[in-house]
Structure formats: C-alpha cells, structure tokens
Chains A and B, each alone.
Chain A
Amino acid sequence: MNDRDQIVSEAELNAYVDDELPADRRSAVEAWLATHPEDAARVAGWRRQIELIRERFGHLASEPPPQRLNIERLTHRRYGAIAAAIAATIAAFLIGAGAGWSARGIEVAAPSELARYTTDALVAYRLYTVEVRHPVEVPGDQRPHLVEWLSKRVGSPLHPPELDKQGLKLVGGRLLPGPAGPSAFFMYESPSGERFTLYCGRIKDGQTALRYTGGDQNAAYYWVDQNLAYVLSGPAEANTLREIAQAAYDQIDRRSPPPQG
C-alpha cells in the first residue's frame, strides 16, 4: 500500500476524473481509490455527472446548424431583419436592466458632479458594451470625423487615447446625454472581445488625480483634466483595467497645456 506518503486531495481526484494527472500520480490515485470506498464513490458520482451532461447536450454537435448561422450569410451581412429583431430584443431588456443597475449603482457618500459622471458612464458601459451590431454611432475607422463631431458637441477639443499598446482597438463612439450636457463615449475592444469605454464631458471641477470605483462586475477609473471629466470603465475582474486607465490618463495629461501664471 502506498497510503503512507500519498494523501490524495480533492483537487487530484478531480484531475483524475478529467484525465489531467501525470502518470505517476494517476497510479497513486488508483491505489488510493482501491482502499477508500467513499472517495471511489465520489469519483463514480462525478463520472455519472459527466455522462448525464454528455447524454443531455452531446447530440447538439451533430445537429445541422440553422440557416442564420450560415457563415456565408453572416459574412455578407444578409441578415438585416434578424439583426434588427435581435437588437430590438436586447434594447428592450437593456433599458430595464440599466435603470435597475444605476439605482444600486456605485457607492458614493454625497453624489458630487463627478460621481454622477461615473454613475452615468457605468450605466452607458453596461448598456452599450453588450451590443454586437450597434455598439457605436460612428465606427473607429472614421476617427477624424468621430473626434471632430464629438468635440463640437461636447464643446471642448477631445483626444481619445491610442490604446494599441494595451491591445485595444477603437470600436468607435457615440454622443450621450451627460449630467451637465452632451457627453462623448468611446468604445475600445480587446482581441478576446472584452470592452472598455471612455466617457467624457465638461465639468466645473478643475483637476483631480486618477481615482477608482469598483462594483462587483464593472469598475472604473475616473479623473478630471482641463475641466473635462473622464471615466474609463471595464470588467471588474480585468486586471488590465488599471494599466489601460493609466495609459489613457497619461496621454490626455500630456496634451494639456502647462498651467498658466
């Protein structure tokens, strides 16, 4: 018996079932199971779970996919009607969900103007990042037009940061109502589909450092520079959020003229 030095952990039992153990541990686990009926029963139960899951869902992979998943159709974008229907459905429940979320919002002691920006920015983040076909009004490949238009509406020259080094490309932007007038909303996307947004609008406060606010799912870094409030939002668990926010902050800060007087 090998029991003396070979205590088998629950993690190893799982790895055994999933065929993720190196050969030497595999035989150790097998020896353990031969003398530990309770663990052997657990392993058998887990294997039964796997069978149930495969029985229940496995056949779906041999079903022919429906027409709407035809790759040629999707490539040539001949799916206007379906897309519109889906967009309408998504919009219908998003409006409700967005409102509910803003109510439980992020925790602020007294809602300052900047806090209202942050709340609005996170609501916009949640509302638009789930959009597949209409996330923005003007796509990122029309960057000069996008920046000119939003700068004019916000009433201040805007310079959305270049975040290519952080692996993000500009999806585009849109105009949104903000706490104190029109706000600009820029969306960026990573190769795996994680989205980050930069929301900005005019504000009375002059200047602040980079600050953080986190919910359980989304988080944001926000700051004020040259009477513009900026909120950079992303998934709360993305550990790149701080790096991205810092890069955006640095680029915007570099563009600011030195303080006068």
Chain B
Amino acid sequence: MSEFREQIEAAIPALRRYARALTRDAETADDIVQDTLVRALRSEHLFHGGDMRAWLYTILTNLNRNRLRTLARRPVLAPIKDSDVTTTGPDTGGRDIVRALEMLTEEQRSALLLVVLESLTYREVSEVQGVPIGTVMSRLARARNEIKAYLDGERPALRRVK
C-alpha cells in the first residue's frame, strides 16, 4: 500500500470519532467518513504534502456542511432519536453533553470538537474552517458558554434515560 493510503487508513478511527460527535448519528457519521475517504483517495494528485489529518478533517467538515445545507434550515435543533441513545450506552452524563452539543451552531460544534476531541491546535482548526484564529477562539468561547447555560438550565428537568 502506498504511503498516501497508509496515512489515510491510519486516520480512519479518529475521523469516525469526530464524525460521530459532529453528526450524533452512527450511520450518518460512517456515510460521511466513507465519502471523505473516497474523495481523498480520488484526490491523491491534489494533496501536495502537508498535514494529512488536517486535510482529511477539512474534507469531512466541508462534506458535513454541505449535508446540513440540504437539510432543514435549523437542523441543529432536531431532537435526538431515543434509539440512538439506547444503542450508545446508559451513560446519562453522555446524553447530557450530546444534547448540549445539539444546541451549538455547526461552526461552534466543529471548532470545539476539533480542539477538545481531536486535539488540533487553534492554528490547525483555523485552516480546517478557513477562518482566522480569532474567529476560532470566539467560536470556542461561545460554544462553551452555550453548553454551560444548557447544562445549568436543564439539569433539574433532565429526562431520565431508561
């Protein structure tokens, strides 16, 4: 296998993790990862070195944004399916944070997940999102405040997961 393919293959587990957190749906996440891989493999001639991971995250982030554009105007407010929760474990804390992530805009969610889950630097996230570092920082700050407000406000009324 070529080095290019090996590098792509090595990134698959992390891409799945990011896609799942980004879309909160296992099937959709693997669809997007598959599309990302097909596109990356097809575009070998367009990859001129540099950071393979950042390149793959960029493709995945763009594909997800394209997907959301085709959905309803505010897909971030769509309710989580109960089936999704039951198949992913009984962790009520998990459900909490999943619902909190739902409240964010796509850009906020992507910035936060790339930093805290995928351990990208601010500079790398700014390249993936195609915006200045200052914009990344304000997206992070807003994301964290949104999550805090959500978790604080919702805590007493939290629905129990069976």
Taking Cβ atoms with an 8 Å cutoff, the residues of A that contact B are 10-11, 14-15, 18, 20, 42, 45-46, 49-50, 52-58, 60-63, 65-66, 68-69, 71-72, 74-75, 82, 86, 90, 93-94, 97-98, 126, 129-130, 132-133, 169, 189, 191-194, 217-218, 237-238
Per-position binary interface string of chain B over residues 106-130, scored 1 when its CB falls under 8 Å from any chain A CB and 0 otherwise: 0000001101110001100000001
In the bound complex, residues from chain A placing their C-beta under 8 Å from that of B12 are: 65, 69, 71
A72 to B34, CA, bound (A): 12
Task: Check B137 against A11 for contact (C-beta < 8 Å).
Answer: yes
Closest to B46 in A: A191
Q: How far is the CA of A75 from the CA of B43 in the complex (A)?
A: 12
**Residue in A53, A97, A191, A217 whose beta carbon sits within 8 Å of that of B117 in the complex:** A53
Q: Is B86 an interface residue (CB 8 A)?
A: no
Interface secondary structure of B, over-half rule: helix
Query: 4 closest pairs, A vs B, by CB?
Result: A52-B97, A191-B46, A56-B94, A60-B17
Please determine whether B38 and A133 come into contact, CB atoms closer than 8 angstroms: yes
Indicate if the CB atoms of B21 and A53 lie closer than 8 Å.
yes
Q: Which of A10, A169, A193 contacts B59 (CB 8 A)?
A: A193
- Chain A residue nearest to B147 in the complex (CB): A49
Within 54-83 of B, Cβ neighbours of A (below 8 Å) are at 55, 58-59, 62-63, 66-67, 69-71
Tell me whether B94 and A55 are in contact (CB under 8 A): yes
Set A20, A58, A60: member contacting B121, Cβ < 8 A: A20
Evaluate contact between A15 and B122: CB separation under 8 angstroms: yes
The answer to whether residues A10 and B141 also contact, given A56-B97, A71-B8 and a CB cut-off of 8 A, is yes
Do residues A55 and B69 form an inter-chain contact, with CB atoms below 8 A?
no
How far, in angstroms, from A53 to B13 measured CA to CA in the complex?
Answer: 16
Q: How far is the CA of A128 from the CA of B24 in the complex (A)?
A: 25
With both chains docked as a complex, state the minimum distance between the C-beta of B103 and any C-beta of chain A, in angstroms: 12
Summed over the interface, the residue pairs from A and B with CB atoms below 8 Å come to a total of 140
Within 8 Å of chain A (Cβ to Cβ): is B41?
yes
From B5, B71, B93, B112, contact of A75 by CB (8 A)? B5
Question: In the bound complex, what is the Cα–Cα distance between A194 and B46 (angstroms)?
Answer: 12
Q: Which residue of A lies closest to B60 (CB)?
A: A193
Contact between A68 and B30 (Cβ–Cβ < 8 Å)? yes
Given the interface contacts A11-B137, A93-B71, A129-B66, does A191 sit within 8 Å of B94 by beta carbon?
A: no
| Across-interface contacts of A18 in B (CB, < 8 A) | 115-116, 122, 140
Question: In the complex, which residues 13-54 of chain B have their Cβ closer than 8 Å to any Cβ of chain A?
Answer: 13-14, 16-17, 20-21, 30-31, 33-35, 37-39, 41, 43, 46-48
B117 with A93: CB separation less than 8 A = no
Distance between A142 CB and nearest chain B CB, rounded to angstroms: 16
User: Cβ of A193 and Cβ of B137 under 8 Å apart?
Assistant: no
Query: A218 CA to B69 CA in the complex, in Å?
Result: 9
A52 to B96, Cβ gap below 8 A? yes
B96: chain A residues at CB < 8 Å are 52
- State whether A54 and B38 are in contact (beta carbons under 8 Å apart), knowing that A69-B16, A86-B31, A192-B55 are contacts in the complex: no
